[in-house]
Amino acid sequence: MSPLGAAFDGAGTNFAVFSEVAQHVELCLFDEDGAEERVTLKEVDGFVHHIYLPDVGPGRRYGFRVHGPYRPERGERCNPGKLLLDPYARAIEGEVEWNEALFPYHFDAPGRRNDLDSAPYAPKSVVVNPFFDWGSDHPPRTPYHETVIYEAHVKGMTKTHPAIPEPMRGTYAALAHPAMLDYFVKLGVTAVELMPVHQFVQDHALAERRLSNYWGYNTIGFFAPHNAYCSSGQRGEQVQEFRSMVKALHEAGIEVILDVVYNHTAEGNHLGPVLSLRGLDNAAYYRLSQEDPRFYWDTTGTGNSLRMNHPHTLQLIMDSLRYWVTEMHVDGFRFDLAATLARQFHEVDRLSSFFDLVQQDPVISQVKLIAEPWDVGDGGYQIGNFPPLWTEWNGKYRDTVRDFWRGEGGTLGEFASRLTGSSDLYQNDGRRPYASVNFVTAHDGFTLRDLVSYNGKHNEANGEDNRDGENHNRSWNCGAEGPTRDRVILALRARQQRNLLATLLLSQGVPMLLHGDELGRTQHGNNNAYCQDTELTWIDWPNVAEGSELLDFTRTLIALRREHPVFRRRRFFRGRAAHVSGEAVKDITWFTLTGREMTDTDWDTGFARSLMVHLNGKAITEPDLRGLRVEDDSFLLLFNAHSQALGFTVPEGLDPWWAVEVDTAIPYTEYRPLIKGGSEVEVEARSMLVLRAHQDG
């Protein structure tokens, strides 16, 4: 009976599937011509139906049919007319071909049970070869405080790259191509966070509009790499190609983090298709309405939510996570709508069974765990409330940094908090600054270039009359909506992109870049491009100059962060004097533009849009991971979000001389004379200066 799924041992395959409600289960084996052979799983232990078949090996396609009660009013939806995917399938062949036979009802009579055979239209599970030569592969295990994450889409990242052979583009193999590995290494990122690569379904509604589920947040196979991202046409080869990609990225020192969707599946609500879990054991796997179990309790906005208080649902998720770590060698996970995973009953519970299991698991607890800390249910916005083992996408960081640089008043205090690691969110439960995964842009929303080019969304291509997508983007078009030839506006937009990148990469916490932002990628104002698998969302590599100014600027910032521990501290700033080597020093000090230390009144000034912060490299009190004391250069960061240039007085009593490391007013580094403490330096309108303490003048 164990393990669940199809396990090939070199001589035969064991098939095992859970269903508590089933009266009996049939295993359906398909030959090369598509002919179906059915075998009843007569052995049942603990509601696991299983059989061992010798001479059945890798490449064999299969599925299940479940015989049992069909009583939707009680949440029971068994129907042997529906071929079901194995929830533990390691590979899936084909995709859903939308047909009435896939649904539990007839289109012309929704109340009548539909017994049409779905097999001709359903994808098939595939037995895979579990063996792979990992060689000397080992995880990079980059510490959180040294991590720079790059959020990427397998296809969008590589589809147009001229150095990659055309048949390989848009696949796992393309991400492992030397051209991409070289790009990641030169950029300086340490981890690639892949948007969903679990097997997903193209939505029926999108297919009818001739669009596609580009993002992939519509999972149907929690163990199977998405087959459309495989460059090989061989059945089940996506597993080995994915492994080869991970191995190549590891050899380049880059971690692989997966964006995973364990909160819902592609089966949707009561009007959705029967593809897997719904037909196996609907009430065990899904949250059903207590008032009427025909319907689903949904906190994801997708039609259903997985039942996180059922032991076999929890086992499915935990087994999947362990599989991707142990058998596929991934280095971490970003959990989509993670608040849903915390809903053991209805309320969000940070001590739910799922988090207990993760905390105690010897495998999963050792990798990077990143929560998207919200869902669409009541009380679903849970930033700062996840357990200490977890890090979180910090939506408050995104919102505050956007507001500050577009000139919103009253943001100084919160901006300072976000810049220094959001201690107000993470310090009280013993977490560190790297609990905050900082980002300004992500796949959901504007790209960086569009954030400074559009006041409103432009999603007409999605076919929803521009109703979809976020309306309050905290964006600013800098004076014209969309494309313009106005040089002043274009210069301001370029400066704003540099401001946002510099703030992100020099903040405490873990920075995350959206793929293509460093290249000026645009989606022409579409802030919800989930259904656009076109040039709109792909990186336009043929028109990207390798030496582009923004790319070089981003590389410079990442290198500065890597070289200076003061920008990636492992503990929060104290803000008060501490004794270091017998000397009382402050690790951080905030100044007004006159060089005076800020008071409560200064923080509360609603019209102020400038500030200066001293990061004392001599006051890093924690040792590094080898136990050695860390000392770094000191830095002054000067922020001017005003519409006019301002004179900043470099505070006296710190270091006597300062060198300009970064000036976001210009796209490149140029020689600048040293600045003497106590003197005034002009900071251009809407720009930022980074000064490094220099030993002598």
Distance CA 49, CA 39 (A): 12
The CATH number that applies at residue 595 is 2.60.40.1180
Q: Which of 127, 151, 186 is the last residue of a domain?
A: 127
Task: Return the structure tokens found at 384.
Answer: 């700062």
- Residue 205 to residue 148: CA distance in whole angstroms: 37
Residue holding tokens 């600054």? 433
Nearest to 95 by CA among 279, 218, 215, 237: 218
- What local confidence, expressed as pLDDT, does residue 463 receive? 94
Q: Which segments in the chain show pLDDT lower than 70?
A: 1, 344-351, 545-547, 577-584, 621-629, 697
* 3-state secondary structure at position 660: strand
Dist. CA 215–CA 266, nearest whole Å: 13
| Residue 339 near residue 380, CB atoms below 8 Å | yes
Task: Examine the fold and report which residue of 127, 152, 183 is the final residue of a domain before the chain moves on.
Answer: 127
Of 86, 95, 281, 372, the catalytic one is 372
Q: Would you say residue 263 lies in a domain?
A: no
- Residue keyed to tokens 């208080």: 309
- Residue-level pLDDT at 547: 61
Whether 121 is covered by a domain: the verdict is yes
Domain-terminating residue out of 70, 100, 127: 127
d(CA 358, CA 361): 5
- Please name the residues in contact with 391: beta carbons below 8 A apart, sequence gap of 6 or more: 144, 368, 369, 370, 371, 434, 435, 436, 437, 510
Amino acid 623: pLDDT: 65
Q: Residue 50 is part of which domain span?
A: 5-127
Q: Tally the C-alpha atoms within 13 A of residue 384's C-alpha that lie toward its C-beta.
A: 13
**Known catalytic residue: 237?**
no
Residue 548 in domain: no
Predicted pLDDT at 379: 78
- The verdict on residue 63 lying in a domain is yes
- What per-residue confidence (pLDDT) applies to 667? 87
Looking at the structure of the chain, the number of domains it has is 2
Length of the chain: 697
Residue 480 placed within a domain: no
Q: Judge whether 518 counts as a catalytic residue.
A: no
Structure confidence at residue 261 (pLDDT): 96
Options 336, 392, 517, 533, the catalytic residue? 336
Give the pLDDT score at 1: 61
At 57, the amino acid letter reads G
Q: What is the distance between the alpha carbons of residues 410 and 172, in angstroms, rounded to a whole number?
A: 46
pLDDT given for residue 5 in this prediction: 98
Q: CATH no. for residue 45?
A: 2.60.40.10
Residue 574 identity (one-letter amino acid): R
The answer as to whether 673 is a domain residue is yes
Determine the distance from the C-alpha atom of residue 550 to the mean position of all C-alpha atoms in its chain, rounded to a whole number: 23
What pLDDT sits at residue 624?
64
Cα–Cα distance measured from residue 155 to residue 164, given in angstroms and rounded to the nearest whole number: 12
Q: Is 21 within the bounds of a domain?
A: yes
The per-residue pLDDT for 66 is 98
Write down the pTM of the prediction. Answer: 0.96
- Assess if residue 560 is contained within a domain: no
